[in-house]
Amino acid sequence: MECQNGKNLYASKKLVADGAEVKEGQEIALVTIDEDQVETVKALTNGTIKFLMEEGPFIFNSDSGKELIEQGAHYLAEIKYDTPVPLRHPNGDIRENQIPFIVVWLILGATFFTFRMGIIKISRGFTSNFLIT
């Protein structure tokens, strides 16, 4: 469920207890939109649920400037995965962290030339700074 401009969302009722195991598609809460429309919120994945809001108060208040700007101000709950889920590229491939060859080459070059040219002494660098000015 997405927040819409001019709409206020209230946490009406929790359908599962905080810390309970939930399954994908299971109904977890009822949300009231502008006090006239009730929607059911379903779990997006399997895991353990932790509610970020209590029943009754605003989940999202469109009249509050802070909530319009603050990222995540409208979150009702979070679900901790049962099993670790890898990060994926948009095409579905699993992301692998790799250091580009050019970065390794530059680090090795910088290290080599730092020792080859003689490590600059801090006092020598500051002294020459003051002599120039």
Q: List, run by run, the mean pLDDT of 10-residue segments along the chain (133 residues).
A: 59 82 88 78 87 69 56 70 83 87 95 82 68 68
| Cα distance between residue 49 and residue 78, in whole Å | 6
9-81 fold:
OB fold (Dihydrolipoamide Acetyltransferase, E2P) (2.40.50)
What pTM, to 2 d.p., does this model score? Answer: 0.52
Please choose, from the candidates 76, 83, 68, 64, the residue with its C-alpha nearest in 3D space to the C-alpha of residue 12: 76
Average confidence score pLDDT of the chain: 77
In this predicted structure, what is the pLDDT of residue 107? Answer: 95
Supply the pLDDT for residue 133: 62
Contact between 76 and 51 (Cβ < 8 Å): yes
